Amino acid sequence: MRPGKQSSSGTSTAASAPSGVAKTVGSTACEIPAFRRSNFYTGKLLTENDLTREQRYAIDKLRLHYTALHGWGVACGLMVRPHPKCADRFVVTAGFAVDDCGREIRLLKNCEVMFPKPPQAAPDPCNPEVESCQGEEESSAAEFESQDYYVCIRYNECQEDFMPVLFADCCGTSNQPNFISECAAIDLLTEAPESLRKVGHLKHSNQDENCRALFEHIPEKCPTTGSGCCIPLGVIRRYVYGDSLTDEMIDNAVRPLIPSVPRLESLVRCIMDHLPEHRTKLTHISQVHWEHDREYRPQDFLHELVGTHEAPKGFVIEFDGQVHHHGVNNRTFQATIVRHSLQSNEPLRSEIAPARVTLSEDGRRCTLHIEIEFARHHLQEQNFDVIITLQCDKVIDERGVPVDGSLLAGFREGGEEYMLRFPTGNGTPGGLFESWIRVRR
């Protein structure tokens, strides 16, 4: 580890640098040119360009593999942790990452990074016995303002093992590095890097996407090569120079992640283990005996959905399997009446209609009967909506698995006509079944 150059926005520390005399040369360009490999044949004169181009071919192939198939971010390790002894520094643990250029960043051992000293620095927390040059006027840590720091890691290259070149192109000899060491640089910034905003966009860009569409359709465009930005590892919040750094002050969740194949396999197995045992045999609502969103006249509503004492009617729901009677009652199956006022500026009034709920003997058909006297005296000369709900989270089949009752909309096959899909369900037990009709004079 060697200190890097100071910047206006923070400090930089080189990590995993080779031992001995070495020279930091920064990182190479991010562009991946068209692939072209050397053609070897007997008698060909190999030059430095041929061998360098052969290296670039293999390196660029690997970089494209990372960017196109895996993305960029932290694969393992590289956690920001407090230093166990010194308050003026923190630790970045060993780990592996890939930047947005597809370049590998490997930290072989934990790296200590020091916070920049304020203009009036406190005594060294690791060497308290050293007397201050300012004597009695020395500032204490409490006098310094708190500061947020952003910890990033970026790809770096170092030249090492310089050797004399006996057959140089020009007169005399020169020294050239025998090795290029791929290392890392850790940046400590006081302003959020652009890469942090890119990570936030990536984490939230797919939240509203259809999961099936995400899986079945490949992107129209290949990912572009990045700019070689640093990978954000963590944010240290409200640190005061000289005070103790705690785990609660460090946010490691900001980092982008690229999970390995074994990690993804573990995730898939975890999801499979937590799926309901009878996921492929869920009970659904197969049909209802009213027309969703239909507009009824009051007399039609009373005749078709209320009935008489001699011939009661109701809102009928049918299941494709037997359901348990305990889950079907007037608390899970309800009709809400939403009355429309003659004055447009008056609020809507809603109430749950008094009703009784029955379940057929075979457990496959439940009916909501609105009280006949209530309908005749309170609904006959009104404009209102009826919202029918069944809380399928509470309705279970004979195996104890909730009914998959989410009512989903879509287009009819071969056209763009709106429809509701029966049987219900999105593949998950439970859900709220909801439908409605309108009654207008």
What does the domain layout of the chain look like in residue ranges?
2-273, 280-439
Neighbours of 101 (CB within 10 A): 22
Structure tokens of 293?
Answer: 């969103």
Q: What is the pLDDT along the chain (441 residues), one digit of tens a residue?
A: 333 333 445 677 767 544 445 566 666 668 888 898 889 999 999 988 999 999 999 999 999 999 888 889 999 999 999 999 999 999 999 999 999 899 999 999 999 999 998 876 556 666 655 544 444 444 444 467 889 999 999 999 888 888 888 776 666 568 888 888 898 999 999 999 988 888 877 776 665 556 767 777 777 778 777 777 899 999 999 999 989 999 999 999 999 999 888 988 998 888 877 766 545 589 999 999 999 999 999 999 999 999 999 999 999 999 999 999 999 999 999 999 999 876 667 778 899 999 999 999 999 999 999 999 999 998 887 889 999 999 999 999 998 999 999 999 988 876 778 889 999 998 889 999 999 999 998
Sheet of 315-319, strands arranged across? 285-288, 315-319, 365-370, 355-359
Structure tokens of 416?
Answer: 């763009």
- The pLDDT assigned to 1 comes to 39
Beta strands in 254-330 (DSSP E): 285-288, 295-296, 315-319
Residues 110 and 93: their CA atoms lie apart, in Å, by 4
- The pLDDT assigned to 313 comes to 95
**357 contact partners, CB below 8 Å, separation of at least 6:** 328, 329, 330, 333, 366, 367, 368, 369
Number of continuous H segments (helices) and E segments (strands) in the chain: 6, 24
Query: Peptide bond before 354: cis, by omega within 30 degrees of 0?
Result: no
Beta strands in 61-173 (DSSP E): 73-77, 80-82, 89-92, 95-98, 104-107, 111-114, 147-165
- The pLDDT assigned to 138 comes to 46
- The pLDDT assigned to 440 comes to 92
Produce one character per residue of 267-291: b if its CB has 16 or more CB atoms within 10 Å, e if not. Answer: eeeeeeeeebeeeeebbbbeebebe
Farthest CA pair distance, the chain: 116
Structure tokens of 85?
Answer: 């002894």
Least Cα distance to 302 among 382, 386, 387, 372 occurs for 372
CA 260 to chain centre: 16
- The pLDDT assigned to 8 comes to 44
| Cβ–Cβ under 8 Å, residues 234 and 256 | no
Least Cα distance to 230 among 91, 60, 113, 98 occurs for 98
- The pLDDT assigned to 411 comes to 86
- The pLDDT assigned to 317 comes to 98
Q: Which residue type is seen at 13?
A: T
- The pLDDT assigned to 177 comes to 87
